[in-house]
Amino acid sequence: MSLFKKLFAVVIAITLWTTLVPGSVFAQGIGLGGDGFTRQLWTGTDWRAGLWKLDNNLNPVLTIPYGPFPQWEPIGIAVNQANNNSYVLWRNTNGSISLWIVDPNLNYVTSQGYGPFAGWIIKGIAWGPGGLRIYWRFYDGTLGIWTLDGNTLAATNSKPYGPFFGFVPGPLPSY
C-alpha cells in the first residue's frame, strides 16, 4: 500500500470515528521538535492517549495509541527541540502524576511518578531553552512551578507563586 493510500485511510478512519462517535476524542496539546515534526497528543473520553507525528505540511506520518489505563488521564505534551524526545504528562484520579519520555518516533522510553500532594493538582507541562517545566495549582490558587531534568525526569527546583486575589493559574479543573 502506498504512503498516500495509508494516509488517506488514516484520515477516513479518523473522520468516521469522530463523526459517528461525537466527543470520543479531543486534541490535548502539541509540541514542535527541532526536526520540524509536530507531535500531537489526543485524549479519548476513556482516557487513552493518541500520539501523532506530523510532517512540515501537518500530515500524519505516525500514530501511536497508548492505554486506556484505568484512573490515568493524559493531560499534556512537550517536545525537546534538541533531541526530539517528547514528554507526556498523565494525571491519576488520586492526584499523583506520571511523566513519560517517548523517543522521536513516539515509542515509550521511561517514566517517573510524583505525588499525590494534598491540595495540589497538576495543570500542565512545557519545554523551552531552560528545560522541562511542570506546573501545579494549589486549592487556594497558588501556582507551583517545577523544573525537571529532561533526561532523568528528576525534579531539580520548585517555587510557589501567589495566591493573588482575583487570579487563578491555569484553566479551572475539569472534574
CATH number at residue 31: 2.130.10.10
**pTM for the whole structure:** 0.81
- pLDDT value of residue 1: 58
Question: Greatest CA separation found in the chain?
Answer: 59
**Nearest to residue 171, comparing CAs of 114, 124, 117?**
124
- pLDDT value of residue 29: 87
Count Cβ atoms below 10 Å from residue 66 Cβ, excluding itself. 18
Give 6-33 pLDDT, tens digit per residue. 555 554 445 434 433 444 455 578 999 9
Q: Domain count of the chain?
A: 1
In a domain, 15, yes or no: no
In a domain, 8, yes or no: no
In a domain, 147, yes or no: yes
In a domain, 157, yes or no: yes
Whole domain around residue 79: which residue ranges?
Answer: 23-161
Assign 3-class secondary structure to the chain. CCHHHHHHHHHHHHHHHHHHCCCCEEEEEEEECCCCCEEEEEEECCCCEEEEEECCCCCEEEEEEECCCCCEEEEEEEECCCCCCEEEEEEECCCCEEEEEECCCCCEEEEEEECCCCCEEEEEEEEECCEEEEEEEECCCCEEEEEECCCCCCEEEEEEECCCCCCCCCCCCCC
- pLDDT value of residue 174: 56
In a domain, 107, yes or no: yes
Count Cβ atoms below 10 Å from residue 136 Cβ, excluding itself. 24
Q: For the chain, which ranges sit under pLDDT 50?
A: 11-13, 15-24, 175
Neighbour-count burial for 13-35, b at 16+ CB within 10 Å, e otherwise: ebeeeeeeeeeebeebbebebee
- pLDDT value of residue 165: 86
In a domain, 123, yes or no: yes
In a domain, 143, yes or no: yes
In a domain, 17, yes or no: no
- pLDDT value of residue 148: 97
